[in-house]
Structure 1
């Protein structure tokens, strides 16, 4: 499978425009969720944020504490150039080495990009980064893929993974997905 946390792998994907996961705008289920948030001072983290349309949308809506962590120097430089003056905090690093405390962590195509062997480490790291009342929310694929990334999975697997880490998690099996992903992704909210 290879180590998909390797920065050179992701730099090359961005340089070669091999970014099939990138829909070019904020994901509709995430936009709907963001529109329900009223506290504009939430400490928000988007791991593996890529081109970060979600971060851009949050900034446009007046959120003032948004951080993106990505391992790709190529994408981090783009984010710095495009959004740092608008208040986006950009951290170019391995997510698993990141530290901080966040009220909301947004999952958007990061979980499916890491090796399934890292999923337990992922949920443990989320628990570590979230504030006492913090939420982890976003989208997960509810289907299998050949090879990867992306790496798929299903709700039963995710439920067991989050339960084991001490999260209470709810799943929406019918989010307002883009047509190509309709029926193949779930929106989830996990609470400590």
Structure 2
């Protein structure tokens, strides 16, 4: 399966977006709600419809940037939040994205959408995009899924093997506030560069 821009555009155009719950996920909302520095430079790669970006922007985090390989979800976000800066809505492949110096990168159903062969490259790219002491935080699935994915599953030990040594693992624990269908199957994490 070729998980390219055509594939993802078709998923959005056909509204085959079962991972999209229509609002910021409770674990990420709780994490965002404890952030205080509104100048934090934030990146959300594979942002999809960008509910996390919309929430951040509504809370005054105006230095929030989103990337997606598909154009449709970026248009959806812009329609919902017309004041979201165009130059912070980036239509590109994550691995081609060049800017760096981010304080925080949020992960929400992007990692599980990538072919597992790209996981080490993902970790390396995230490291490159963050400034010193920057954080990668979000959710990872703690469940096996069909190898035909996406989504592609994983587990705590596998994630440690990918990220430990590249990042300092500050938190990697079962999310206590997942939505009901994902309860017990999501890990909340904070990794520091």
- TM-score over 0.5 for the pair: yes
**Counterpart residue number, 1:20:** 18
**Counterpart residue number, 1:91:** 90
Greater mean alpha carbon deviation, residues 80-89 or residues 34-43: 80-89
Q: Which stretches in structure 2 are left out of the alignment for 5+ residues? A: none
Shift of 1:79: 2.4
State the number of aligned residues. 190
Q: Which stretches in structure 1 are left out of the alignment for 5+ residues? A: none
Shift of 1:169: 4.0
Counterpart mapping for 1:18-97 below 5 A? 18-87=16-85, 89-97=88-96
Q: Does 1:123 find its partner at 2:120? A: no
RMSD: 1.3
Shift of 1:167: 3.5
Cα distance per residue 1:89-118 (max 9 Å; x no partner): 100000011122210000000000000000
Is contact 2:27–2:175 with CA below 8 Å preserved after alignment?
Answer: no
> What stretches of structure 1 move > 4 A for 4+ residues in a row?
none
Cα distance per residue 1:34-76 (max 9 Å; x no partner): 0110000100000000011100100111111000000001222
Shift of 1:85: 1.5
Shift of 1:152: 0.2
Greater mean alpha carbon deviation, residues 77-86 or residues 112-121: 77-86
Is contact 1:103–1:131 with CA below 8 Å preserved after alignment?
Answer: yes
Shift of 1:3: 2.7
